[in-house]
Amino acid sequence: MNPSINYESYVWQLEKHKPIFRITTNDHKVARKLMKKENVFMLSYGIQDSTSWTFQTSYESLSYAVIGLGSVTNADVIESSFDGIFVSYTPKQSKTNFDISKIMNENTLEIEEDTNIKFDIDGDDDNLTISFK
């Protein structure tokens, strides 16, 4: 999983002709939903480059696993470039709450100390662009 603007969730069948599937995600909302399910077991939790969870569950077929991943992520599931691995991308949500009128008037943005957001502000009173890195 590479750091990007989207979270990534993957599903694949552990062994052919066996109903065991693994799901890996770096989306904390998807992980929380999977932890609540009765037939899903968390196998690993990692924090190296980005937080990730790996789960194991069972489905009757690969098509049901793909439908299940789409249901948990609320996003489309597509086949990855690796055979038999399917991926769903969910957008990262900004946790910053701010008043846009302050930016328009002062060209400054106040953010709480515990946030890790980098941004650039360009423009004038008529056209303001905020780009997040």
Evaluate the CA torsion angle 62, 64, 66, 68 in order and state its sign: negative
* Cβ-contact 9, 30 below 8 angstroms: yes
Q: What is the pLDDT of residue 18?
A: 93
Q: What is the pLDDT of residue 60?
A: 93
Q: What is the pLDDT of residue 38?
A: 92
Q: What is the pLDDT of residue 51?
A: 87
Q: Report the predicted TM-score, pTM, of the whole model to 2 decimal places.
A: 0.65
Q: What is the pLDDT of residue 113?
A: 57
Q: What is the pLDDT of residue 125?
A: 56
pLDDT tens for each residue of 86-109: 999 998 865 555 555 555 555 555
Domain residue spans of the chain: 6-91, 100-132
Pick out the chain residues at pLDDT < 50. none
Amino acid at 60: E
How far is it, in rounded angstroms, from Cα 62 to Cα 64?
Answer: 5
Q: What is the pLDDT of residue 32?
A: 94
